[in-house]
Amino acid sequence: MFNTIVRKHLILPVLLLLASCGANPVVVDESQKNQSVAGGNPKITSVPDNSPDNYVLGQGDQISIFVFDEPDLTLDARVSASGFINYSYLGNIQVVNKTPLQLEEHIADLLRNGYLVNPSVNVSVTKFRPFYIGGEVRSPGSYPYQPGLTLERAIALAGGLSDRASERRMFVARAGSDSSQQKISLGDAVGPGDTITVQEGFF
């Protein structure tokens, strides 16, 4: 009898609590998701998409164009400052700001217009345009971009941090962006053409 009474007294508060949760669901303020714990402003760094399929071609990239069963249409070229390449039969073709897949489709469409019935085109990047890293690293300079590149990997390519470097004072100027330098962390993505600066720490 005593155990029955105790169970009733325990169950009633639980039922009341569940009812109150159902009546007042918790609403998450989306505007607060990106704020820091300390209540600072949201981080506004624009992070590039490092997926190889979404790589956007730009000045300095070296590409290979292969058309199946058409050796005369095979070409290795470097994207010029104008953003164009000169391609057999087709003249100047704009390359910059296209992904390799988009360029494949563009060339195939041009070849269908009076040249080939059903062209099979493949475009690959043979050498990526570089990113730049300077400041407190052991070997500052430019290095070829690699898909999936992070700041940590970029620093490793530059020989690692110097003894005076600060992991809290790292900045990036994104290629093609008019914004000023933004803070970047070791796990953040680095894009082709980005300029990284590692500043000295205060000891």
Range 162-175 average pLDDT = 92
pLDDT band at 12 (very low <50, low <70, confident <90, very high): very low
Give span(s): CATH 3.10.560.10, the chain: 130-200
Instruction: State whether residue 111 is helix, strand or coil.
Output: helix
For the ranges 66-70, 139-143, 198-202, the lowest mean pLDDT is seen at 198-202
Angle, alpha carbons 194-195-196 (nearest 5°) = 115
Q: Which of 99, 6, 35, 104 is nearest to 87 (CA)?
A: 104
CATH superfamily for 130-200 is Outer membrane lipoprotein wza domain like (3.10.560.10)
pTM above 0.85, yes or no: no
Mean pLDDT of the chain: 80
Q: Which of 177, 139, 176, 145 is nearest to 159 (CA)?
A: 139
Bridge-based pairing state of the strands 130-135 and 195-200? parallel
Give span(s): CATH 3.30.1950.10, the chain: 62-127
Q: Tell me, what DSSP letter sits at residue 182?
A: E
**Contact yes or no for 34/43 (Cβ under 8 A):** yes
For the domain covering 62-127, report its CATH number: 3.30.1950.10
How far is Cα of residue 198 from the mean position of the Cα atoms in its chain?
A: 20
Most distant pair of Cα atoms in the chain: their distance: 96
**Contact yes or no for 127/143 (Cβ under 8 A):** no
How far is Cα of residue 136 from the mean position of the Cα atoms in its chain?
A: 24
pLDDT band at 47 (very low <50, low <70, confident <90, very high): low
Rounded to an integer, what distance in angstroms lies between the CA atom of residue 54 and that of residue 80?
20
